[in-house]
Every structure is written in structure tokens, then in C-alpha cells.
Chains A and B, each alone.
Chain A
Amino acid sequence: MNAKLFGVTLIMAVSILATGSLSLAGDMPEQVSLDTMVKYFSGVKFDHAMHTELGEDCSRCHHHTTGTGTTDSRCVSCHADSDGVANVACRDCHVVDPFSAEHLNQKALSRYQFHIDKPGLKAVYHWNCVGCHETMSGPTGCQTCHTRTPDGDAFFHADASPVDTNWVKQLFDLK
């Protein structure tokens, strides 16, 4: 019985590790895969455990969700006494396609006039990560966080080079 339970646990643990999504330490992930928009760059394996040691407070990233309440002057007028919400992941609030017709229509109907400018998921990843890395002297290059895929190399025309016109000079013996 115990062996069976152990087996099931082992299989679950292996499958969770194999998917690489998250392995839990308490109720906090040690690593988070940021890979919902992988196309020209590979996903980011975000070392959540390491960053929680660096950060002063969870709310530095998880504003208005976990940790201390918001202190942002633009938010406190409404959210001074707000409780943390169940959504903790960035992608639970910040959508992948903020400019889809569906989302724009939804936004236009929203009665929350202060939320008309909520940025999309890609933007908040970059603002949060790069913004903090700049002040903490972390890496800020594109490929230091996510390597470019072959599609990305083609997209940026990585192999482009100026047209070689030297043969004209050689042909006419120009100096």
C-alpha cells in the first residue's frame, strides 16, 4: 500500500518536474516558466526562489495580490484597504493580447476608469524584470534572459550583410 502510494507520488513528482512548470516549496513555486508567448525567443525559466530572497517584499511584483497592500499613490485611493486577491500569477490579470478587438471592446465597457490603461502580459514582464534589473545591475540584454529561436534569427535577419560592391571597384580598378 505504502509502496503504491510512494509510486503514485513519484510519478506525480516526476511529471511535474518534467513539465518544468513549477515545483512547489510550501505554496510558493521555486521556478516559474514564462513561456506563454514563445515564438521568436524561448521561454524564460524564472528562478522564483532566488528572486524572493532578493526582493524586499512580495508586493514589489505581486502588487495588490500577495504581501503588503499597495502603496502606489495612484492605487491607494481605491485599494488602501483591499484584501489580497486569489490571482497571483501575472497572466491571471495581464492578458497576452491586450489589443484584440474582444479585449478592446471589453475595456471600453469597463466601469473602472483607472484600469483603461492596463498593460499586456509581455509588457509587464519586460517592465518588471528589466526595470528592476537596471536598478539592481542585473542582466538586461535580450538573450541573457531568453535565447533567440531559429525563427527569431530569421525574423531579425541575423544573417543580413551589406551588399558587397567591392567587385565593382576591382572590375574598374578604382581606388
Chain B
Amino acid sequence: MSGISRRRFLAASVAGCAATTLAGTKKALASGSFSGYPEGMGVLVDLTRCVGCRSCEAACNKEQQLPAPELPFDDKSVFDQTFHDGKQLRRPDENAYTVVNRYQPASSDQPVYRKVQCNHCSEPACLTSCFVNAYTKTKEGAVIYNSKVCVGCRNCMIACPFHIPGYSYSSAFDPVVKKCIFCHETRLKNGLPPACVEICPQEALTFGKRKELLKIGNNRIQTHPGRYVNRIYGEKELGGTSWMYLSPVPFSEVGFDPNPGNDPIINQVKDFLGTVPMVLAIWPAMFAGFHLLAKKHDGHEGHDQTADKTPGDEGDEQ
């Protein structure tokens, strides 16, 4: 009878303990989401305006003092380059933080050019995956990184939903991750637009406060019926990005993941990661408590047994 009540007591205490902890964790997680700095800057990329001149690539190369390219920046043959058996177009790497690719959408007879670079997420996956805290989302909107603390683990390259961070494979002794930093150091923090925006002859890139860009983007969609698909890619996708896109064709036809979800990548691991402190902090105390309880009871039983036996023993001894 006393055994059953102990089991019930333990089960009830475990259930109660778990319930309180989980409720607490949920609350903490809900308050932890972040939707970007209100005054953060961004760029609205209008794919209907881009003519594929690659001036942005040249401007990036000059501004970021990157190595000379293999082909001149006005060479259009790079649009025919494909990788992985023709399945993949050019991607940014350690020598080019931005590249322009050409797509031939099924729903249009005109090619569409798309500039690829870091989209500077409001809640970046690279930042959350970095265990040395190399990444920072600045109040201006840029996602920058400190290459001095980068250990080259490449977690961010796997975490990034846009496959943006490149790796300096050419550096044998100090390889680090490299990517577009929104020209933060040289321009953005001084109130200047990034070099690619400034050089663009077509104003395919519109620089401004992110919230203003959303107004402009919606305005363009409204006032030019039929020119755009009704979507600003990056407004909500993956928790929102500072760089956003307008397209004349469905986004799946110009290399975008059409349904990346509106949750930032961290939401996929938040619930799990939220349990880690709980496990680390509460489990040792809880199990130590159980252990002590169990031991204490064992001790009592032992004592009782000896107590039961004692009279006889004592009797024997006496």
C-alpha cells in the first residue's frame, strides 16, 4: 500500500515539474522572436529592370578590393556557365560577393536577369548557427561578420537558406567564410548606398528604409498591373529579409525557392534548443532529488528491517 502511493507521488511530481518547465520555456521562446530593426535599410531588386550588364559585380569587386576576375565584367559568356551537370548557375564565392545570373522563364520570351548576393535576413540563420558569435545584424540592416573570430567551421554555409556564404578554400592556413556585407564598413554605416546600387544604370536596385521599400514595392505592383507577380519576395519569407525582390514571372522560374515558409530558420530548432538549458539545469537537480528520495526510503526500510530484526538479534546476543 505504501509502495503504490510512493509511485503515485513520484509520477505526479514528474508531471507537475515538466508542465511548469515547459510552460515557462514556451513563454520565453515566444518573446524571443525578432522582426528586424525598425529603421533598418534594405534594397528592393526589380527584376523587370535588370539588363544583365554586370556593373554591380564590377562595383562590388572594386569596393571590396576583391581579386581580379578571370573574365572582364562586361563579358556576357558567364551567363552560359553552369555547374553540377547544368543544374546550378553561378554562385557568390570568396572572389565575388555578388553575381548576376540569366534565366529563361517558361512563361516569358524575354530572359530575366537576377543579381544574387546576401539577402541580409532580419533573423539570419548564419548568425544563429555560428557558435563563436562571429555574425552581427547591425541596426542599419546589414549582416556582417568578424573574420578574426571565424574558425572556419562552415556551419553558416549549411544554415543559410540562400546558399550565400562562400569559403576561402584557396587559403591553406587561415580559411574563413566570406560574403556580401552590404558595404557596411565603407558605405552603409556612413549613410551611403552600397556600391552595386550606386553603379546600377537601370535603378534595378532601389535603396532605402526597408519599410519604405515595402511601400514602393506595393506601389509598383499596384500601378503596373500585369508587369509583376503579386508578391514581394523577402517581405515575409524566412522571417523577412533586408533585400527584397519584385519579379515579372513566378519566383520559382528565376531560381527562388517559391515556398521557403515565413518562419526564420531558427524557429525550426528553437523548441529543441529551448529544452537544452532545461535539461542541463533541471535534470541534474531533479534526478539527484529522486536519487536522494529513493536512497532515503531505502535507508528507512533497511532501518526498519534492522529494527524488526533487532529484538531477535538482541535477544540472541543477550
A interface residue numbers (CB < 8 A to B): 74, 97-101, 104, 107-108, 114, 116-117, 119-120, 122-123, 126-127, 130, 142, 155-163
- How close is A63's CB to chain B, nearest CB, in angstroms? 15
- How close is A174's CB to chain B, nearest CB, in angstroms? 21
Residue of B nearest to A163 (CB): B70
Complex Cα–Cα for A117 and B214 (A):
11
Q: Is B198 an interface residue (CB 8 A)?
A: yes
Residue pair A117, B202 in contact (C-beta under 8 Å): no
Residues on B with beta carbons closer than 8 Å to the beta carbon of A117: 206, 216, 219-220
Complex Cα–Cα for A101 and B192 (A):
7
Number of residues from B at the complex interface, CB < 8 A: 32
- How close is A132's CB to chain B, nearest CB, in angstroms? 15
Complex Cα–Cα for A142 and B51 (A):
11
> For the complex, would chain A's binding face be called helix, strand, loop or mixed by DSSP majority?
loop
Residue of A nearest to B71 (CB): A160
Q: Is B68 an interface residue (CB 8 A)?
A: yes
Residue pair B212, A116 in contact (C-beta under 8 Å): yes
Q: Is B185 an interface residue (CB 8 A)?
A: no
Complex Cα–Cα for A160 and B53 (A):
17
> A116-B212, A116-B215 known; A156 and B74 CB under 8 Å?
yes
Complex Cα–Cα for A101 and B201 (A):
20
- How close is B152's CB to chain A, nearest CB, in angstroms? 25
Residue pair B73, A157 in contact (C-beta under 8 Å): yes
Q: Is B250 an interface residue (CB 8 A)?
A: no
Q: Is B197 an interface residue (CB 8 A)?
A: yes
> A101-B191, A123-B202 known; A157 and B69 CB under 8 Å?
yes
Residues on A with beta carbons closer than 8 Å to the beta carbon of B51: 130
Residues on A with beta carbons closer than 8 Å to the beta carbon of B125: none
Residue pair A116, B216 in contact (C-beta under 8 Å): yes
Residues on A with beta carbons closer than 8 Å to the beta carbon of B200: 123
Q: Is B137 an interface residue (CB 8 A)?
A: no
- How close is B30's CB to chain A, nearest CB, in angstroms? 32
Complex Cα–Cα for A117 and B220 (A):
8
Residue pair B203, A98 in contact (C-beta under 8 Å): yes
Residue pair A122, B201 in contact (C-beta under 8 Å): yes
Residues on B with beta carbons closer than 8 Å to the beta carbon of A104: 207-209, 212
Residue of A nearest to B191 (CB): A101
Q: Is B193 an interface residue (CB 8 A)?
A: yes
- How close is A106's CB to chain B, nearest CB, in angstroms? 12
